[in-house]
Structure 1
Amino acid sequence: MEHRIIAIGRQFGSGGHEIASRLSEELGVPLYDRDLVEMAAEKLGLSEITVETVDESVFNTFLSAYRYNGFAPRRIPLNDSTFETQSKIIENLAKKGPCIFVGRCADYVLRDNPLCLNLFVYASLEDRTERITKRYHISKKEAEASIKKMDHRRKQYYETYTDRTWGSIESHKILFNISQLGITQTIDTIKHLYSNQIESS
């Protein structure tokens, strides 16, 4: 058996997506991040914008929290139906072959899958602020506000749909401090873990 799934949780601005992208390229393994929004939107028959609004967030407003589940009499919160749909997509993709997932509680969805390497990426506020200001060309103050908002959003989403604490050592197999290790060393370490799992399986 091969250890062929990598699930990456991340703080906003920590470099999690960059790490996933480079791993995907260097390992030759498909990456699923925003693709899951597109797939869920297609499954739900909704626009990508609508699904992206509740993606990785707990969103319960009077205007858009509910939708009818086909002809079923019960109503399902849009964020719940999005989570359920994305979870099924993640499970199906994991069965088909090697892949990398970013966020979307993939580590929890695949918690019973022995082939899943579950990681969490974090960094200092200073480093994350610098990364966000450069990426989005915004001020330090705006970057810090965005980090606070996105981290809260991801934490609330993760802890609503799992029985775990977002970013904790109890929830994830390995935590990577990017401020200490750097992007390249983190990638090399994950590749080493991935290769060793394949050899030992």
Structure 2
Amino acid sequence: MSNHVVISIGRQFGSGGHEVGKRLASRLGIPFYDKNLVSMAAEQLEISNITAATLDEKALDYFLSTYENTDEKEPDESSLPLSEQMYLTQSKIIKNLAEKGPCVIVGRCTDYLLRDCKNCVAVFIYGNEEDKVSRIADMYGISEKKARDKIKKVDAERKYYYENHTGKVWGSIETHPMLFNTSLIGIEDVVAVLESVYKIKTNK
């Protein structure tokens, strides 16, 4: 398993987790992976970016509903639902990226996939409800009510995706030893703390 320092960022929708990761990677001069993982997986699966995006961080309980394995041996990946192929492909990409060098990766069960990597720093970003609603309303140009509904929907999908694939509790201290509330300390201060952690890990 990789010895490179990887910052894994789980996040509530609207908490600013993407922005934390982007700023941190820029400040450290290391690669940042979030939505670009979608296009990377789409290329390997030979599907469109639009199709891949509709599957990103969404899970289907294929063992119970969309797939029934009657053989004793492991099923071929190509026989699995496309959503599961997407997860497996992204998982391989994430592990390969961690092997290549230090980076910041947002979401997609990265903390779990790299759980055996001693230098994987697992972080979860959250925020107060009103701050998240305000950020999403401004970002998408929608009403606060629609922003609140969107946050509820996206977080439910992320929670199910994470817990379905890991068997762990999304956003818990057990899976994310470092939790930051951006409503309390702000995005820039979270970036500063993580920059310090990275430098300690790399002895810089």
TM > 0.5 fold call: yes
Contact kept, 8 Å, 2:4 with 2:98, in 1: the verdict is no
Match of 1:96 among 96, 100, 107: 100
Identical counterparts, % of pairs: 48
Match of 1:177 among 171, 177, 181: 181
Q: 1:77 matched to which residue of 2?
A: 81
Name the CA distance, whole Å, in 2 between partners of 1:178 and 1:6.
17
RMSD between aligned residues: 2.0
Q: Which runs of 4+ in 1 moved over 4 A?
A: none
Q: CA deviation at 1:73?
A: 9.6
Query: Residue 203 of structure 2: SS of its match in structure 1?
Result: helix
Q: 1:117 matched to which residue of 2?
A: 121
Q: 1:144 matched to which residue of 2?
A: 148
Name the CA distance, whole Å, in 2 between partners of 1:6 and 1:74.
31
Query: Residue 80 of structure 2: SS of its match in structure 1?
Result: strand
Contact kept, 8 Å, 1:57 with 1:153, in 2: the verdict is yes
Q: 2:130 matched to which residue of 1?
A: 126
Contact kept, 8 Å, 2:3 with 2:117, in 1: the verdict is no
Q: CA deviation at 1:173?
A: 1.6
Q: 2:45 matched to which residue of 1?
A: 44
TM-score of the pair, normalised by structure 1: 0.90
Name the CA distance, whole Å, in 2 between partners of 1:164 and 1:73.
23
Q: 2:12 matched to which residue of 1?
A: 11
Q: 2:194 matched to which residue of 1?
A: 190
Name the CA distance, whole Å, in 2 between partners of 1:57 and 1:74.
18
Change (3 A) 1:184 1:103: same
Name the CA distance, whole Å, in 2 between partners of 1:14 and 1:185.
14
Q: CA deviation at 1:59?
A: 4.0
Q: CA deviation at 1:3?
A: 5.0
Query: Residue 170 of structure 2: SS of its match in structure 1?
Result: coil
Contact kept, 8 Å, 1:3 with 1:197, in 2: the verdict is no
Name the CA distance, whole Å, in 1 between partners of 2:179 and 2:61.
31
Match of 1:164 among 155, 165, 168: 168
Runs of 5+ consecutive residues of structure 1 not aligned to the other structure: 67-71
Alignment of 1:17-28 (within 5 A): 17-28=18-29
TM-score of the pair, normalised by structure 2: 0.89
Q: CA deviation at 1:149?
A: 0.2
